[in-house]
Chains A and B, each alone.
Chain A
Amino acid sequence: MRIKRSSWSIPYAIFLALFVVMPLVMVAIYAFQGRGGGFSLEQFSRFIHTPEDLNTFMYSIEIALITTVLCLLLGYPAAWIMANSELNPSRITILLFILPMWVNMLIRTLATVALFDFLKAPLGEGALIFGMVYNFLPFMIYPIYNTLSKMDKSLPEAAKDLGATPGKVFTKVTLPLSMPGVWSGVLMVFMPTISTFAVAELLTMNKVKLFGTTIQENINSGMWNYGAALSLIMLIIIGVSTLMSGEESSRENETGGLL
């Protein structure tokens, strides 16, 4: 019997349905379930009326934004230097930047904790931001490096030829053309940092609470509906930021980001 080519995708479809679509649907159902079991917005109003959770939420976004901005400030120059063949002829440095990505994130975080202990530096918010930047920096560097190294080398030359000083070449040509990479880097750092919780617990000795921890605590203590509602809120934030950056990068003609 001949098997149709399209039927090859059936196992994947089943996998997606079981492990992606169904959990999402479950999250949505639980989130909109009231105490009585029927449809209700009770869980969301509870969130708005619990100042502690609301504050944690805002704080998480703040930490994620700070991490993203720091990663961008550190990552862009690094990517720029790596993509510049005159400054970086060997390309080994790229490997050095990518290498930490091969180590499990929890192990890296534990190592960071050990490092702070060794240096007698206090754990807390500072350590949290340090750890997050350290963990997610490669995710910022790589997409930016990718767009920069794929960029037509004659474009900066053309700009210079038309009278642009090196600074102007950067602001008028290099930077605008590397924006797709910047957007995908921002997304790849912002998304995981906003939902992180284990890293935060380890690096702050549970002194600082992030939104991920709030969700985990609620679910652990059996409050499934409220936990689901909080998860949904976070999903929406991530979804919106993806859409926004997707729109930004699709406006650019040059592609080359990771997403």
Chain B
Amino acid sequence: MNKDEVIINIEHLSKAFDGKAVLKDISLYIKKGEFVTLLGPSGCGKTTLLRILGGFTVPDAGVVTMEGRDISGVPPYERPLNTVFQRYALFPHLDVYDNIAFGLKLAKVPREEIDARVRKVLKMVSMSDYEDRDVDSLSGGQQQRVAIARALVNQPKVLLLDEPLSALDHKMRLDMQIELKEMHRKLGITFIYVTHDQEEALTLSDTIVVMNEGRIQQIGTPTDIYNEPVNSFVADFIGESNIFNGTMIKDKLVSFMGHEFECVDEGFGTNTPVDVVIRPEDVYIMAQTEGAQFTGKVRTCTFKGVHYEMFVDTDSGYELMIQDYNAFEPGTTVGLLIRPFDIQVMKKERVCNSFEAEVVGEGKVSILGAEFECSVPEGLESGETVTAELPFNAVELLDHPEDGVLTGYVHFILYKGNHYHLTVRTDEGADIYVDTNDIWDKGDLVGINFAPAALKISRRDEN
């Protein structure tokens, strides 16, 4: 079997539920024998994608091919893949043996062969003595094993797993992770695994597909994803990270936290705004300040088992999370150093808010249904559609939604070392990005005001 052979190919897949897009133009290929994890927060579309593969959900657009054959119209019972469901979905009216034999009996496999295969797969999941047990009398972990056995006994080419470990306690989860990995190695079939647990994804996968809001953010090996996240979402979602606004001064020189650092990234141009990610374990912390790139003062120090986690206020007023084997007392001044290849520079997704707006009279524009007074350039007439740009820090968030011109809720929060970068979703579903020093929680209802003077109106680019 050629390891590099593609088994599943997904092209331009889209799906919406009640007008709300859940998957937006997903393209992805999966190689034979690979352990692929679809990773993302809840609501990112990962489960929908898995259900489309299983045949339970019909995509609005796009093609899924398996071994070169279009399987879009193939019903679930004819697909050569099996699923391990999130809540196991074991049949309560059948015992362990009959649950596992369910698929084989339907396929009219001879009795002796069913017997042999059920026994073999039970042995593999270490449940040999449980054949006659009622599934309700089993613990969560045992039910999980039966669910895996029930799927594997049919010898599928691809095994789909929908958050199979989410209902288990932490210790059991770690044990099952090792067993799953071992099973994958032994069987050599393709595993497609859905989870929101980044640690699980890093432990198990050959390839991780990070998803957010219906789009694939990054595809790569666990090390790639961890060490070289492509954007601030991935950096924030996978592992702990310090994320800063920075400026790429020129190739191999980046400025952030008020200091200039040598780095290894090239090709961003000169003086380009970028996001910079520093993993907490990649900052060198030392007692002496000479030889350090910059200094800081330890604010808190917590023991985490293997390492200490410290929050350090830097000389330039930023907060930095550092993990180190040595503890530094709060209050001590420390020297800090970041090496060039530990600095991950990412292209910024946006540098300011950009809205479609309409001129509605002398010095007035309408944005997202609300009117704002601002300076409208000469030559723009009422009714004309224009582009309005607004810096992140020119948006004001108010405690009382009714005080704002627009209302919405805090959708996503990113800490940037000295301020928060929020995504606020308005009631109409538009996203407004805000830089603020105030602390908000995810889901908070807010009123939104714009500083009209900061609005920059320009003619729309003619295409």
**Which of these, A157, A163, A254, contacts B103 with CB under 8 Å?**
A163
- Measured CA separation A154–B54 after assembly (Å): 12
- Measured CA separation A254–B94 after assembly (Å): 12
**Which of these, B54, B75, B134, contacts A253 with CB under 8 Å?**
B134
- Measured CA separation A162–B77 after assembly (Å): 6
A253 contacts B93, C-beta separation under 8 Å: yes
| B89: interface (CB < 8 Å) | yes
* A-B Cβ contacts below 8 A, count: 64
B75 contacts A160, C-beta separation under 8 Å: yes
**Which of these, A157, A163, A165, A172, contacts B89 with CB under 8 Å?**
A157
- Give every chain A residue within 8 A of B86 (Cβ-Cβ): 154
B76 contacts A157, C-beta separation under 8 Å: yes
Beta-carbon contacts under 8 Å, A201-255 to B = 252-254
| A168: interface (CB < 8 Å) | yes
| A173: interface (CB < 8 Å) | yes
A162 contacts B89, C-beta separation under 8 Å: no
Knowing A161-B82, A162-B102, A163-B107 touch, does A176 contact B76 (C-beta < 8 A)?
A: no
A158 contacts B75, C-beta separation under 8 Å: no
| B87: interface (CB < 8 Å) | yes
- Min CB distance, B155 to chain A, in Å? 12
How many residues of B are in contact with the other chain, CB < 8 A?
26
How many residues of A are in contact with the other chain, CB < 8 A?
20
| B83: interface (CB < 8 Å) | yes
**Which of these, A164, A177, A252, A254, contacts B77 with CB under 8 Å?**
A164
Beta-carbon contacts under 8 Å, B31-81 to A = 54-56, 75-78
Contact with A along B124-166 (1 / 0, CB 8 A): 0000000000101000000000000011001000000000000
- Min CB distance, B82 to chain A, in Å? 6
- Give every chain A residue within 8 A of B87 (Cβ-Cβ): 152, 154
Chain B: CB-nearest residue to A253: B92
- Min CB distance, A257 to chain B, in Å? 14
- Min CB distance, A126 to chain B, in Å? 38
- Give every chain B residue within 8 A of A160 (Cβ-Cβ): 55-56, 75-77
Beta-carbon contacts under 8 Å, A146-161 to B = 152, 154-155, 157-161
- Measured CA separation A252–B91 after assembly (Å): 11
- Min CB distance, A179 to chain B, in Å? 8
| B237: interface (CB < 8 Å) | no
- Give every chain A residue within 8 A of B83 (Cβ-Cβ): 157-158, 161
A254 contacts B102, C-beta separation under 8 Å: no
Besides the known contacts A160-B55, A162-B151, A172-B102, 9 further A-B residue pairs in the complex with CB atoms under 8 A apart: A154-B86, A154-B87, A155-B89, A155-B91, A162-B154, A163-B103, A164-B77, A164-B106, A173-B91
A-B CB proximity, top 8 nearest: A162-B103, A154-B89, A158-B89, A253-B92, A160-B76, A163-B106, A161-B83, A176-B93
Contact surface of A with B, Cβ cutoff 8 Å: 152, 154-155, 157-165, 168, 172-173, 176-177, 252-254
Q: 20 A–B contact pairs at CB < 8 A?
A: A152-B89, A154-B85, A154-B86, A155-B89, A155-B91, A157-B76, A158-B85, A158-B90, A159-B102, A160-B55, A160-B76, A161-B83, A161-B151, A162-B154, A163-B106, A164-B77, A172-B106, A176-B93, A177-B91, A252-B93
